[in-house]
Structure 1
Amino acid sequence: MKIYEKAPAKINLSLDVLRKRSDGYHEVEMVMTMVDLADRLSMEELPRDTIIISSQVGYIPLDEKNLAFQAAKLIKERYEVKKGVYIHLDKHIPVAAGLAGGSSDAAATLRGLNKLWKLNIPLEELQALGAELGSDVPFCVKGGTAVARGRGTELEPIGAPPQCWVILAKPPINVSTADVYGKLRANEIKNHPPTSQLLQAIREHDFAMLCRSMGNVLEDVTLELYPEVRQLKDAFIRLGADGVLMSGSGPTVFGLVLKESKVTRIYNGLRGFCKEVYAVRLLT
């Protein structure tokens, strides 16, 4: 039997950092949703007790550094599964892009192996397992749209934002999330995103208010460290995207676009800045 799972990318409509916690993590409040850009995973059982991962791309680790590998190892150890698995990752989400590609792969692995091995693990338990792998994994296990608090693992599901096009562009650089958070001074943040206003916009399906209410406190750090990201964000605005924000710690920038007639022009304009440009829909 072969199990197939889709691993969609996530974007942050809002990312606020409230304070530095005593455990070393940051206390956050984020609004996250998923877009129709996805990796695809296939999983099949192996006769011997091992984990093998393959991919069509050559620039990702396929050993214990890979979050999907870690997810498979965790579920095998926790539930004493003495069977092996072969996982193929068909990668489409850019790596180290602020789109939770690795976290979504791990979440898809947890869901898929739960089915493959008929473990009947409840969703909440899968999310708790995911929290051991990374802060974004619990959200990716369930998907949808949610407010994430704490270190990002305390989730409050909410309704979907108004449907629109999402154009994503990743410059040819990688950004370390640890470096960005390391340079952030949480007690010096002056402009916090109006999260309550953003949530109102989602509830009322008010696209214009949604675009006005988006915010990401990590932008100031990443834009200072990587001028390419600032240039890319300026290009989005100049080309007429309705709402523009960096996702996560970057370097991917996304633009929300309501009118389909604008999409091709913005997409083509951004291709002059970078090769990795995607026009997708919100996954609602």
Structure 2
Amino acid sequence: MKIYEKAPAKINLLLDVLRKREDGFHEVEMIMTMVDLADRLEMQELPRDTIIISSQAGYIPLDEKNLAFQAARLIKDRYDVRKGVYIHLDKKIPVAAGLAGGSSDAAAALRGLNRLWELNIPEEELCTLGAELGSDVPFCVTGGTAIATGRGERLEPIESPPQCWVVLAKPPINVSTADVYGKFRVAGIGQHPSAADMVSAIQRGSFADVCGGLGNVLESVTLDLYPEVRQLKESMIRLGADGVLMSGSGPTVFGLVSKEGKLPRIYNGLRGFCKEVYVVRMLT
């Protein structure tokens, strides 16, 4: 039997950092949602007790450095599964892009192996497992739209934002989340974005207010470290996207667009200096 799972990318409509915690992580408040750019995982049981991962992408690790591999090993160890699995990862989400591609792969592996091995693990327990692999994994397990607090693992589902087009553009650089957080200083934040205002805008279905409420306090660090990201954001605004923000720690910048007629100009304008440009829909 083969099991298939979709692993969508996420974007941060809002990312606020409240303080540095004693455990070394940062206390955050985020509003995350998913877009229709996705990796796909195919999982098949193996007769011998091993984990094998393959992919068409030549630039990702296929060993214990891979989060899907780590997810498979975690679920095998925790539930004493003495079977093996072959996972093929069809990679579409850019890596080190602030889109949680690796976290979504791990979440898809947890969901898929739960079905493949008929473990009947409740979703809440899968989220707890996912938190051991990374802060974004619990959200990727559940999907939808949610407020994330703590280090990102505490989730409160909310309504989906108004449907729109999303233009994603990743410059040809990789950004280390650890480096960005390492240079970030909470005291340097001028004004914190308002999660309450964003939730209200979503509840009212106001696309304009969702665009107006976008905020990411990590932008200032990444934009200073990587001028290409600043250029990309400025270009997307100039080309007419309705709301523009860097996702996560970057370097991907996304633009929310309400009118399909705007898309060719934005897409073609960005492709002039950025190869990785995607036009997708918000997942609702």
Q: Find out whether 1:106 has 2:106 as its counterpart.
A: yes
Residue aligning to 1:175: 175
Q: How far does the alpha carbon of each residue in 1:12-43 deviate from its partner, in whole angstroms, 9 at most, with x for none? A: 00000000001100000000000000000000
Match of 1:64 in 2: 64
For residue 218 of structure 2, what is the aligned residue in structure 1?
Answer: 218
Structure 1 equivalent of residue 136 of structure 2 = 136
Q: Residue 139 of structure 1: SS of its match in structure 2?
A: helix
SS at match of 1:3: strand
TM-score (norm 1): 1.00
More divergent stretch after superposition (73-82 vs 186-195):
186-195
Q: Does 1:36 align with 2:41?
A: no
Residues 1:17 and 2:11 are matched in the alignment: no
4+ residue segments displaced more than 3 Å: none
- Aligned equivalents of 1:112, 1:264: Cα separation in 2: 37
In 2, the alpha carbon distance for the partners of 1:98 and 1:273 equals 19
Q: Using the alignment, how far apart are the partners of 2:29 and 2:134 within structure 1?
A: 16
- Partner-residue secondary structure (3-state), 2:133: coil
Q: How far apart are the structure 2 equivalents of 1:129 and 1:8?
A: 19
1:27-81 CA distances to partner (integer Å, 9 max, x unpaired)?
Answer: 0000000000000000000000000000001000000000000000000000000
Which residue of the partner structure matches residue 187 of structure 2? 187
What CA distance in whole angstroms lies between the structure 2 residues aligned with 1:171 and 1:28?
26
Structure 1 Cα separation of the partners of residues 52 and 255 of structure 2: 37
- 1:215 partner letter: G
Displacement, 1:109?
A: 0.1
**Matched residue, 1:281:** 281
Pairs within 5 Å for 1:223-262:
223-262=223-262
Paired with 2:194 and 2:236, the residues of 1 have a C-alpha distance of: 22
Matched residues in 1 for 2:264 and 2:154: separation? 37
SS at 1:115 equivalent: helix
Shift, 1:204, TM fit: 0.3
For 1:38, what is the secondary structure of its paired residue? strand
The CA distance in 1 between the partners of 2:188 and 2:235, in whole Å, is 28
CA distance, structure 1, for counterparts of residue 195 and residue 238 of structure 2 = 25
SS of residue matched to 2:93:
coil
> CA-to-partner distance for each residue in 1:75-130, whole Å, 9 max, x for gaps?
00000000000000000000000000000000000000000000000000000000
Task: Give the Cα separation in 1 of the matches to 2:18 and 2:99.
Answer: 21
Deviations along 1:194-214, one digit per CA (max 9) or x if unpaired, are: 221111100000000000000
Give the Cα separation in 1 of the matches to 2:157 and 2:254.
22
How far apart are residue 188 of structure 1 and its match? 2.4
Paired with 2:185 and 2:267, the residues of 1 have a C-alpha distance of: 34
- 1:80-95 to 2 correspondences below 5 Å: 80-95=80-95
For 1:203-214, list aligned pairs within 5 A: 203-214=203-214
Q: Please name the residue that 1:202 is paired with.
A: 202
Q: What is the percent sequence identity of the aligned residues? A: 79
Deviations 1:150-182 (A, max 9, x none): 100000000000000000000000000000000
In 2: Cα distance, 1:115 partner to 1:217 partner: 38
- Partners of 2:212 and 2:7 lie apart in 1 by 29
- Secondary structure at the counterpart of residue 161 of structure 2: coil
Matching residue of 1:269: 269
| Structure 2 stretches lacking a partner, 5+ long | none
Where structure 1 has 5 or more consecutive residues not aligned to the other structure, the ranges are none
Give the structure 2 partner of residue 145 of structure 1.
145
SS at 2:111 equivalent: helix
**Which residue identity is paired with 2:204?**
E
**What is the RMSD computed on CA atoms of the aligned residues?**
0.4
Residue identity in the other structure for 1:91: K
Deviations 1:221-257 (A, max 9, x none): 0000000000000000000000000000000000000
Q: Aligned-pair distance for 1:187?
A: 2.4
